[in-house]
Amino acid sequence: GLMRNAYIGTDALATVAMQGTKLAVFGGAQVLKPELIVAGFTLIPFMIGGTVIGKRLLERVPERAFAVLIEGMLVVAGLNFLIYG
């Protein structure tokens, strides 16, 4: 089955890789304006807070319920791709 910590860790790593790539591309293309960079740094405390709250909520969800929820969402996403492209 789908292990909660492995799924969350894999998702976090993929997100860091995607966002790092975006930052490199947009930064290299000089598309990032200074006000966007400031806004991004302003959001850091909220991202940390969301991570802490999310971790606490995740600890309360039983392993089996988490697996069923994630697998259900993956099925819905897959069907969405098949139907709508």
pLDDT of residue 30: 87
Give the residue-averaged pLDDT of 5-18.
Answer: 92
Query: Domain residue spans in the chain?
Result: 4-84
pLDDT of residue 4: 86
Share of the chain above pLDDT 70, in %: 98
Question: What is the rounded distance in angstroms from the CA atom of residue 34 to the CA atom of residue 27?
Answer: 11
When the pLDDT of each residue in the chain is averaged and rounded to a whole number, the result is 92
Give the residue-averaged pLDDT of 51-68.
Answer: 92
Whether the model pTM is above 0.75:
no
